[in-house]
Amino acid sequence: MTRPTFQIDGKPVTFTEGQTIMEAATAAGVYIPHLCHNPEFEPHGSCKLCTVKVNGRNCSACTFPAADGQEVLNDTAELNELRRTITQMLFVEGNHLCPSCEKSGNCQLQAAAYFLGMTDAHFPFFYPRRELDASHPDILLDRDRCIFCALCVRASRDVDGKNVFAIGGRGIDSRLIVNSPSGRLADTPIAATDKATRVCPVGAILIKRHGFEVPIGERVYDRHTIAEESLEREEPIVEARHG
Amino acid sequence: MAEKLTIATTSLAGCFGCHMSFLDIDERILALAEVARFDRSPLTDIKHCRDRVDLGLVEGGVCNAENVHTLREFRRHCRILVAVGACAINGGLPTLRNPIALEECLQEAYRDGIGVENPQIPDDVELPLLLDKVHPIHEVVRVDYSLPGCPPSADVIWAFLSDLAAGGEPSLPRELIHYD
Ligand code: SF4
Ligand code: SF4
Ligand code: FES
């Protein structure tokens, strides 16, 4: 029996029933930009960076199931411009001062922006006031850089079984909240070895005393584009999930 | 010989790092001098553009009334205006004060802060008035291009100038885009 197949930018991609477009693309070595998706967790579908055109309609590749005969557009000027605009909006709604951020060079938001050719943020900046939580001895929570991808929420709930994080509020009032009576990280059972401390794509959740360990020029995205790095990291995870 | 490209530069709320990075083009400045002439710039000490210039490079964000005035005047003289570096593009480190009320910042810096002697908030008429927030320059004037980096490396500045001098549409290759 031939395996079901669809096309990405005209290139045939075979897939396993039940895979999303993102998973099938990753397994086939095709990079679709994404931020809130990490193949280790259930998809969330919130950042929309992975927007692709499926049979002419915009869909989130990380949640949309692959189907036989689909025609998917991914690497087009129009979609990449849309993704760049989304990235610019993410930059203006938080406080991203890359030159003084420990995550710089290892940050997926920054690397996606490089990949998409973003040289400015275009929109007026919000400069929101967000609370920093340095209460935990080993973990820093810098909400200025949070992009509400909910990866820490999923990791803490589904892997660590601790339910430490949630996204509270709506729209522009969204904020990352911490599940303890005081609302402080120090009063939760989170530990530096938890999965939830390792999945933040940006510099919002950091392990203390490791900042600026890797010199400029040798950091992850100094040496690889996010396309190269994410395919290398995620392909084996998708393979292990779907065989 | 074709007429030389005229270039002006100015520094607003910046640290002069971007200008220093410009000078890091080193001996390439000789090649630049063949095709370009500097007008207003801290490098020439010319205080105002003498007439229209082809290219204006702006370092630094906008933190006070004088920055607004300087930037608007500068924009009027420049055919192409470029935001150079993090501060011009997103306000940079000076924006750390933005989520805090200006009054609180002044009180902390000049009155209540640790080690402050002779506490008083400066109010000399010669001092430009601070804006309540630090702004990137695109919130005040139209910007044609941005060169990110803190500072953008000499190679970034050189790539941009070379494209422009060659008469092409400047575009930064992916590997030259950095925000730090
Ligand atoms: S989290 Fe990423 S984009 Fe934000 S300031 Fe840090 S390095 Fe820059
Ligand atoms: S803290 Fe990090 S992982 Fe958690 S929602 Fe914010 S950006 Fe995502
Ligand atoms: S990666 Fe698909 S919506 Fe965020």
Say which CATH number the domain at A43 has.
3.10.20.740
Give the chain B residue whose CA is nearest to the CA of A113.
B177
Query: pLDDT confidence of B50, banded at 50, 70, 90?
Result: confident
Distance CA A226, CA A63 (A): 20
Are A106 and A175 part of one and the same domain?
Answer: yes
Strands (E), chain B: 5-11, 36-38, 53-59, 62-64, 78-84, 130-135, 145-147
Alpha-carbon distance of B69 to B46, in angstroms, equals 17
Quote the pLDDT of residue A242.
79
Domain carrying residue A36: 5-82+225-242
- What is the per-residue pLDDT for A1? 60
pLDDT band at B51 (very low <50, low <70, confident <90, very high): confident
Question: Does residue A90 form part of some domain?
Answer: no
Among the listed residues B138, B133, B160, B144, the one whose alpha carbon sits nearest the alpha carbon of residue B18: B160
The answer, yes or no, to whether any atom of ligand 1 lies below 6 A from the CB of A103, is yes
Return the pLDDT at A216: 94
What tens digit of pLDDT does each residue of A184-212 get? Answer: 999 999 999 999 999 999 999 999 999 99
pLDDT class of B156 with cuts at 50, 70, 90: very high
The pair of structure tokens assigned to B97 is 């004060």
Q: Are A123 and A208 part of one and the same domain?
A: yes
Q: How confident is the model at residue B3 (pLDDT cuts 50, 70, 90)?
A: confident
Same-domain check for residues A111 and A75: no
- The answer to whether residues A134 and A195 belong to one domain is yes
Asked if A238 and A169 sit in the same domain, the reply is no
Q: Lowest-confidence range among A15-29, A87-101, B166-180?
A: B166-180
Within-domain flag for A208: yes
Same domain, A35 and A57: yes
- State whether the beta carbon of A107 lies less than 6 angstroms from ligand 1: yes
Give the distance from residue B1's alpha carbon to the nearest chain A alpha carbon, in angstroms.
34
Min Cα–Cα distance to chain A from B172, Å: 8
- In a shared domain, residues A194 and A148: yes
Distance CA(A229)–CA(B9), nearest Å, equals 38
For residue A123, name the pLDDT band (cuts at 50, 70, 90): very high
User: Are A216 and A229 found together in one domain?
Assistant: no
Residue B1 has pLDDT above 60, yes or no: no
Distances (CA, A) of A109 to A34, B68, B129, B172: 9, 31, 36, 19
The number of domains in chain B is: 1
* Residue A22 CA, closest ligand 3 atom number: 2
- The pLDDT tens digits for A59-77 are 999 999 999 999 999 999 9
Give the CATH number of the domain where residue A169 resides: 3.30.70.20
Sorting pLDDT into bands at 50, 70 and 90, what band is A243? low
Which pLDDT does position A2 carry in this prediction? Answer: 78
CATH number, position B48: 3.40.50.700
**Amino acid making up residue B48:** H
Residue A94 lies in a domain: no
Q: Which atom of ligand 3 is nearest to the CA of A47?
A: 4
A224 Cβ contact list (under 8 Å, min separation 6):
A232
- What would the mean pLDDT of B29-54 be, rounded to a whole number? 92
Is the minimum distance from the CB of A32 to ligand 3 under 6 angstroms?
no
Q: What's the whole-number average pLDDT of chain B? A: 95
Whether B56 maps to a domain, the answer reads: yes
Domain count, chain A: 2
Can you give the pLDDT at residue B87? Answer: 98
Residue B169 in this model has a pLDDT that exceeds 80? yes
Q: Are residues A219 and A233 in the same domain?
A: no
Look at residue A219 and tell me whether its pLDDT is greater than 70.
yes
Residues A148 and A193 reside in one and the same domain: yes
Q: Examine residue A95 and state whether it is found in any structural domain, yes or no.
A: no
The answer to whether residues A19 and A134 belong to one domain is no
Ligand 3 centroid–CA B42 distance in Å is 46
Do the domain assignments include residue A93?
Answer: no
- A217 and A231 housed in the same domain: no
Q: Which domain holds residue B53?
A: 5-98+132-176
**Is the pLDDT at B21 greater than 90, yes or no?**
yes
